[in-house]
Every structure is written in C-alpha cells, then in structure tokens.
Structure 1
C-alpha cells in the first residue's frame, strides 16, 4: 500500500521512459500516464486512473509534469 511518502516519477530517459518509485522502491519505467496508473493500482490503489495520476498530490513529478515524456 502506498504510504504518505510521495510517489516519484523521474525525468524522461533517452527512450521516453520515466522511472517510477513508490515507497522507496523503483517499480519500473512508465511511458505514459496509463503506465503510472497501472503501477499505482499494483501498489494497492485499484481505483487509480489516468485522471488521478494527473491531479494526485501523492505524486512528485521530476523533470516535468504528466505531459512530459520526451527529453
């Protein structure tokens, strides 16, 4: 389950992927908001969707917000 620790989405890499860290663990790379929602669901937030990703205070976006997927 996601704690009060923010979810961190790192800046895009050369391939347009962004590392996703939840509760201090890197879960993988996301290539869009849908992928971030899937990681959130796997972390216990089953009802989390793309709109939740865009507006959630749980998520700290580094290197650009949810609209940035290229370097």
Structure 2
C-alpha cells in the first residue's frame, strides 16, 4: 500500500465547505482554517501536531487554504 498523508482536505464544494478525512475517516466539513483546526482537534490530533502547511501531514486537494470553489 502506498504511503498517504494522514489528513486530506478535499476540494471546496459550492458552499465553500471542504470535506476533511483523517486516516480515511470522514471527520466533517470545514469552512475556514479555524474550523479545520477544530475538526482535527476533535479527531484527536493535538494542537501541537496540527501543522496545516506540512505536506507530510496534510494533503490539500485543490488550493491550500482556499475556502470557495471559485
């Protein structure tokens, strides 16, 4: 099995929300970096481990930190 990042932020939907998965499990939809951080915290990822720009931790599908589908 190929290596995968543990967190995937999927492309924005029409409403700007982005589905988020952690280790293949859907953890919710975020509409901002702050909401994304909160989803990850609720999924059990400690604040010290949340590095949204670390490509080894987070795979942004689409433009990173973009919260609209424009």
Aligned match of 2:43: 43
In the superposition, the TM-score normalised over structure 2's length comes to 0.77
Matches of 1:30 and 1:48, distance apart in 2: 19
Q: Where do 5+ consecutive residues of structure 2 fail to align? A: none
Decide whether the 8 Å contact of 1:40 with 1:48 is kept in 2.
Answer: no
Cα–Cα, structure 1 residues 16 and 59, in superposed 2: closer, same or farther, change >3 Å? same
| Structure number with bigger Rg | 2
Q: Where do 5+ consecutive residues of structure 1 fail to align? A: none
How much is the aligned-residue C-alpha RMSD, in angstroms? 2.0
In the superposition, the TM-score normalised over structure 1's length comes to 0.76
Q: State the 1:48 CA deviation.
A: 4.6
> Any runs of at least 4 consecutive aligned residues in structure 1 with deviations exceeding 4 A, and if so which?
none
SS of residue matched to 1:11: strand
Aligned match of 1:62: 61
Return the structure number with greater strand share: 2
Matches of 1:45 and 1:12, distance apart in 2: 22
